[in-house]
Amino acid sequence: MVDLPHRVREAIRRDFPVLPVPSVPEIRLHRAGPKSGLWRLAEWDAAFSTPYWAHLWGGGIALARYVLDHPDSVAGKRVLDLGTGSGLVAIAARKAGASAVLASDNDRYALAAALLNAEINGEDIATIEGDLMSGPAPAVDIVLIGDLFYEQDLADRVSIFMDRCLADNIEIFVGDPGRAFLPRQRLQMLEEYAGTDFGIDGATNSSCNSVFAFRRDL
Q: What is the pLDDT of residues 119-128, one digit of tens each?
A: 999 999 999 9
Residue 218 has pLDDT above 60, yes or no: no
Q: What is the pTM of this model?
A: 0.90
In DSSP terms, which residues pair with 205 in a beta bridge?
A: 197
Residue 73 has pLDDT above 50, yes or no: yes
Q: At what angle do helices 88-95 and 108-120 cross, to 10 degrees?
A: 40
- Report, as an integer, the average pLDDT of 42-65: 81
Q: Is domain 6-214 annotated with CATH 2.102.10.10?
A: no
User: What's residue 10's pLDDT?
Assistant: 79
Q: How many helices (H) and strands (E) does the chain have?
A: 6, 9
Count how many Cα atoms sit within 13 Å of the Cα of residue 18 in the half-sphere of its side chain.
Answer: 14
Distance, CA of 137 to chain centre? 18
* In the chain, domain spans: 6-214
- Report, as an integer, the average pLDDT of 21-37: 87
Residue 149 has pLDDT above 80, yes or no: yes
Question: To the nearest whole number, what is the mean pLDDT of the chain?
Answer: 88
- Report, as an integer, the average pLDDT of 97-108: 95
DSSP annotation of 141 reads: S
DSSP annotation of 147 reads: S
User: What's residue 108's pLDDT?
Assistant: 87
User: What's residue 201's pLDDT?
Assistant: 47
Q: Is 10 helix (H, G, I), strand (E, B) or coil?
A: helix
- Report, as an integer, the average pLDDT of 192-198: 81
Residue 104 has pLDDT above 80, yes or no: yes
Residue 1 has pLDDT above 60, yes or no: no
In percent, the amount of the chain with pLDDT more than 90 equals 67
Residue 199 has pLDDT above 60, yes or no: no
CA distance 137 to 101: 15
Pairing of strands 24-30, 18-21: antiparallel
